[in-house]
Amino acid sequence: MSNYEEIQLLLDDYLNDRLPADSKEKFEKSLSQQPDLQEELVIHQNLMHVIGEQPDMRRKEMAKHPMMKEVLEVLDSEETRQLRATISEVNEEYQQNQGKSSGTIMRSFPLMAIAASIIILLNFGLVFWQDSSNADLYDAYKDSYSPISLVERSSSVNTSLNVIINALQAADYEKVITSVNDAPELVKQHAEVLLYLGLAYRETAQFDESIKAFERYAAINDLDQSIADWNIGLIYLKTEENAKAKSYFQKLAESTAFEGAADAQEILKNLE
Amino acid sequence: MNEHNSALVKGLIEGRKEVLYKIYEELFPKVRKFVLRNNGRQQDAEDLFQRSLLQLITKAKVSGLPEIKSIEAYLFTINKNLWRRELNSNERVTNPTTHEQSYESGTDSTAQLMATASLQEEAVALLEQERWELYQTCFAQLTENCRKVLDFFFKKKPYSAFNEEFGYSSESVARQRVFKCKNKLSKLIKAHGNYNRLKNL
């Protein structure tokens, strides 16, 4: 074994507390006398942290480093204070605009050529759920879900359907509910209005009715069971009924057909 | 650095609002998603992102502009490191602005101490980032085999795993390989232009 190898072995054993007491004492004596060895020790400690992802053994030493003074002076300067304030202002402005922008996007959907996603449409409300502990989880997934496009609508689109979509885009949920419930024939022709109905009920906090609407949609359109399950799962997230939410996302996570299976898995992970 | 990145970094350092906003638009959603998926909340993501911007600005003032290809990728790495640091630490570091505001209004006598402690933590985090970059840059210069060998070693995989992965005939062969790669890495670190400045970090 070379000298370098021996030293490295000792370093690793020393840092991992594997040296017997007498060897440790001997090693520490050598360490105090050899700056080169001290340098190797620091590098080894840092590699254990940077590559080995182990706790940082050098953290306490950082505060004593000559660069600290310089960094602290910059951080504590008037110029930095102003920058902090500017960054904070921009953050506030950005976060506020994020809340507003969802509504703007929604209103700008072209009515006659909707190639938009039902899922995205249904999830716009999530932005406003800032008061529950699951709210952030919803928000994290609203943009990551791959949209399922609606069929392109021609200008001859059913007028009653137009009214409902218009109401939905205007966030007039009561009108959506009334219009769908007053037009049972429309449901037979356009099952997706039940998704709109589910959204409207959800946005007006009528969760039981919302779930029923999504379940009705799945019963008519069994190919889209996953869409219904996703949205029912979201309702349970919103109402903080995590056990129920988990059962829906579990099913979706295991689905090979549902393109949001990976997202369902992530939601489950966050609910653990 | 391309023109787009160069303009963003320059604008960031100058504290230009429109540039900061652009950076928010391009990067904050990714950082937010990362934080939320790693046991954080919206407020954590906002605090973290603000600290990362300030860290980059401070770094540029103290050490000059870093060699980066993409400001987005660079800032995202800073955010990841800050968040990892946060998760490994028992106490959360909040934005010192909050403490400073209390201090300036004279309502809280402990606020000054807290603000100082926060500044200290920010400074340490910056130095940690500098050190991390130096070590990672050197590590990236090793061969793929050496990187993998050292990854196994520092993640404390048993030597039997080395033999299985790399086909070494014995523990002694594996150990020799580890120390050869470690020696190479150690030399690269010591020869790095920033080493003397960051020595003993």
Tens of pLDDT, residue by residue over B103-135, are 444 455 566 666 777 888 899 999 999 999 999
Write the residue in A39, A47, A71 that is nearest to B154 by C-beta: A47
| Average pLDDT score over chain B | 85
Q: Which of A221-225, A258-262, B53-57 has the lowest mean pLDDT?
A: A221-225
The model's pTM: 0.58
Q: Do A143 and B123 touch (CB under 8 A)?
A: no
Q: Do B131 and A59 touch (CB under 8 A)?
A: no
At A117, is the secondary structure helix, strand, or coil? strand
Write the residue in B20, B150, B186 that is nearest to A51 by C-beta: B150
How many Å lie between the alpha carbon of A34 and the closest alpha carbon of chain B?
A: 14
Q: What is the pLDDT of residue A6?
A: 80
Cα dihedral A98, A99, A102, A107 sign = negative
| Average pLDDT score over chain A | 76
Q: Which residue has the higher pLDDT, B100 or A243?
A: A243
Write the residue in B122, B197, B199 that is nearest to A75 by C-beta: B122
Q: Do A140 and B33 touch (CB under 8 A)?
A: yes
Terminal CA-CA length for chain A = 49
How many Å lie between the alpha carbon of B75 and the closest alpha carbon of chain A?
A: 15
Q: Which residue has the higher pLDDT, B18 or B8?
A: B18
The answer to whether the beta carbons of residues B163 and B174 sit under 8 Å apart is yes
Using a CB-CB cut-off of 8 Å, the residues of chain A touching B58 are: 71, 74-75, 80
Q: What is the pLDDT of residue A158?
A: 58
How many Å lie between the alpha carbon of B116 and the closest alpha carbon of chain A?
A: 9
Task: State percent of chain B over pLDDT 70.
Answer: 87
Mean pLDDT of A45-64: 89
Mean pLDDT of A15-25: 92
At A149, is the secondary structure helix, strand, or coil? strand
Q: Which residue has the higher pLDDT, A169 or A132?
A: A169
Q: What is the pLDDT of residue B90?
A: 53
Mean pLDDT of A159-170: 77
Write the residue in B126, B156, B179 that is nearest to A8 by C-beta: B179
How many Å lie between the alpha carbon of B41 and the closest alpha carbon of chain A?
A: 7
Q: Do B54 and A83 touch (CB under 8 A)?
A: yes
Q: What is the pLDDT of residue A115?
A: 27
Q: Buried b vs exposed e over A162-191: b needs ≥16 C-beta within 10 Å?
A: ebbbebbbeebbebbbebbeebeebbeebb
The complex's ipTM works out to 0.82
Amino acid at B130: E
